[in-house]
């Protein structure tokens, strides 16, 4: 089965890329992590004007948008506000224990009675304890899982792209390190993993594939991308000052966001048994 975007969908993805590529999203993400939300809120407004906040009922366009958000490391409670709550106007967030135990950016969303902030491995993910009695909306939960899966796919693609660029520039023993077979094979494995995950995201958006299958595949492939990217970059990949760290930490956080891999594998097993 082939999943290909039509011309309108391709144009939408291209327009998002153009906007985000010129928005200095790295600076936006770093400011957000430091508690300066103004650049991020301005970017939120520009994306809202493009209709990103109104995609809850357009799952394919939702997946396209969230892949680009992941590729450009855009901060904020996008999954909570847009995918789960369908909030077309303003910013909102939600906590749904046990799979979403803390409310992302609850202070920015104006949630009353916000408790302590929890530290995430991804500094742009500011997690807060909040009181919640909300029942889980299963359809909205699956939509949020789809959005997180697309974010992971986009983040994995960005790490792979930056890694390929780096290995073409970095030289060792007089040769570009990308010329060594071991590095070529490692990056090729990432390319294959991401290519296998992408149809599951689009299939889930169309309702033909379980969103849990998409989440497992995207988590695995993005995590492989992060590990490989860290290996080919060497010690600089660990440093907070190096931009790659924004994607490495985001992937690590999103792997368990909106349900751990174990939870989604259990859902898949249950569906198969039934």
pLDDT tens per residue across span 202-225 = 999 999 999 999 999 999 999 999
What stretch of H or E contains 17? helix 7-21
Compute φ and ψ for 23, nearest 5 degrees.
Answer: -100, 0
Give the residues of the chain that fall short of pLDDT 70: 1-2, 171, 174, 178-179
Q: Which two tokens stand for residue 144?
A: 């949020």
Residues 16 and 5: beta-carbon distance below 8 Å: no
Note the pTM of the prediction, 2 decimals: 0.95
Pick the closest to residue 103 from 93, 112, 113 (CA basis). Answer: 93
Q: What is the pLDDT of residue 173?
A: 72
Please, what sign has the CA dihedral across residues 67, 69, 71, 73?
Answer: negative
How far apart, in Å, are the Cα atoms of 139 and each of 56, 160, 171, 255?
11, 32, 50, 20
pLDDT confidence of residue 202: 96
Contacts of 28 by beta carbon, 8 Å cutoff, 6+ apart: 39, 40, 43, 74, 75
Tokens 């590729």 belong to 71
The class (CATH top level) of 138-273 is: mainly alpha
* Per-residue model confidence (pLDDT) at position 3: 72
- pLDDT at position 88 is 92
């Amino acid at each position: 089965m082939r999943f290909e975007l039509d011309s309108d969908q391709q144009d939408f993805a291209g327009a998002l890329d153009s906007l985000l590529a010129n928005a200095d999203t790295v600076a936006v993400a770093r400011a957000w992590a430091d508690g300066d939300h103004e650049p991020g809120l301005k970017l939120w407004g520009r994306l809202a004007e493009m209709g990103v906040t109104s995609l809850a009922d357009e799952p394919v366009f939702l997946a396209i948008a969230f892949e680009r958000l992941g590729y450009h490391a855009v901060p904020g409670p996008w999954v909570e506000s847009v995918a789960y709550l369908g909030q077309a106007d303003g910013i909102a967030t939600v906590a749904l224990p046990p799979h979403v135990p803390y409310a992302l950016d609850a202070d920015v969303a104006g949630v009353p009675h916000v408790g302590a902030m929890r530290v995430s491995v991804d500094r742009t993910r500011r997690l807060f304890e909040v009181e919640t009695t909300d029942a889980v909306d299963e359809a909205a939960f699956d939509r949020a899982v789809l959005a997180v899966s697309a974010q992971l796919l986009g983040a994995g693609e960005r790490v792979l792209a930056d890694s390929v660029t780096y290995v073409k520039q970095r030289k060792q023993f007089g040769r570009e390190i990308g010329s060594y077979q071991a590095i070529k094979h490692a990056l090729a494995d990432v390319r294959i993993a991401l290519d296998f995950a992408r149809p599951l995201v689009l299939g889930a958006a169309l309702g033909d594939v379980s969103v849990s299958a998409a989440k497992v595949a995207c988590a695995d492939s993005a995590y492989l991308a992060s590990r490989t990217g860290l290996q080919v970059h060497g010690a600089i990949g660990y440093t907070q000052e190096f931009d790659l760290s924004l994607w490495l930490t985001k992937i690590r956080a999103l792997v368990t966001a909106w349900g751990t891999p174990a939870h989604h594998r259990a859902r898949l097993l249950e569906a198969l048994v039934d």
